[in-house]
Amino acid sequence: MKRVFSGIQPTGEIHIGNYFGAILNYVKLGEELGKNSIYCIVDHHAITIPHEPELLRKRTFDAALVNMAAGLDPNKVILFAQSDVREHTELGWVFATQTPLGDLERMTQFKDKSSQHSVLAGLLMYPTLMAADILLYKANTVPVGEDQVQHIELTREIARRFNHRFGEMFPEPLAVHNKDALRVPGVDGQGKMSKSKGNTLGVLEEIDSIWQKLRVAPTDPARVRRTDPGNPEVCLIFDYHKLFSDLETIQIVDAGCRSAGIGCIDCKKLLMKGVEQTLVPIQQRAQELYNSPDTVKDALHRGAREAREIAQQTMQEVRDRLGLLNP
């Protein structure tokens, strides 16, 4: 049986990198696997850094809402907030007692952040909670970005160590990712789209605001004048066409750029047609959900009940293996 788990960070605006890199895949897997697709808004992970409580609450709600607006159907998948299923933290503590300190200190994320400033102990324990998120549902497939692959490797080691000591119980999950989607570039052309870099195009961002960003976005530096031919393969805007535009438009842009048949502004205007066709329906659905917040809240509550049924069964087995009393 294939079971997928993925954690959704409630860390701010959902951008097109998230949409093409993760959400579309969530929707696809949900259609294929139904309730064996489990998606969690990981709000406990979000408190490993200083935060504003009301803002976290809003971002958790918004993360669920945008995913639903983009096509994730809570009637087909399990969608819930991590803090609504307490077994996550219980299993996280169990794994913390079985994981050598050196394994946690070697995590690149911890080393990078702790070298810059003082960090909370929760950041050190982040990987054991992440392992609990995944193994609580005995998931064997985890869609992640490249920056999380090391954490999945540790999750596999935690599962292996537990199985060896207490008997075979957990699968060793595999990290999977869409290599093309990982390369969604920032609108400044300076590497990957990232909230921390401020180079994003938001899924719910006003269309005029997106246009203002794209209008001044860099293109092929060889096209100094309108009559200069260019190479679309080195152009940021052409990368976006591959995401938003149909094949016919992509071919027109490719030929027009190489022959100088169209200018960069023309190219960007063609891109905006695809942007609007993709994002406006999502934005309209999102507004409907904002106007009916109980739809989102009810979906999260229902998802938490479904997740809890699986989680409680797993924790009963874990307690038996460890010699703990079961309630």
Cα–Cα distance, 18 to 7 (Å, whole number)? 12
Closest CA to 173 of 136, 145, 139: 139
Alpha-carbon 203 to chain mean position: 13
The DSSP 8-state label assigned to residue 232 in this structure reads G
> Which residues are within 8 A (CB) of 202 and not within 5 positions of it... i.e. 6 or more apart?
13, 14, 15, 16, 210
- CA-CA distances (angstroms) from residue 164 to 9, 92, 170, 270? 32, 18, 10, 58
268 is catalytic: no
Cα–Cα distance, 198 to 202 (Å, whole number)? 11
Q: Is 38 helix (H, G, I), strand (E, B) or coil?
A: strand
Tokens linked to 36: 């064996």
195 is catalytic: yes
Catalytic option among 28, 58, 111, 113: 113
DSSP track, 50-87: ---HHHHHHHHHHHHHHHHHTT--TTTSEEEEGGG-TH
Tokens linked to 153: 């490797």
Beta-bridge partners for 142:
175
- CA-CA distances (angstroms) from residue 153 to 42, 147, 199, 275? 19, 12, 30, 37
87 close to 136: Cβ distance less than 8 angstroms: yes
Beta pairing, strands 78-81 & 141-143: unpaired
> Which residues are within 8 A (CB) of 36 and not within 5 positions of it... i.e. 6 or more apart?
1, 2, 3, 4
Tokens linked to 288: 């409907």
CA angle 132, 165, 44 (to 5 degrees): 15
Catalytic option among 2, 76, 111, 195: 195
Catalytic option among 35, 76, 192, 242: 192
Looking at the annotation, which residues are catalytic?
113, 192, 195
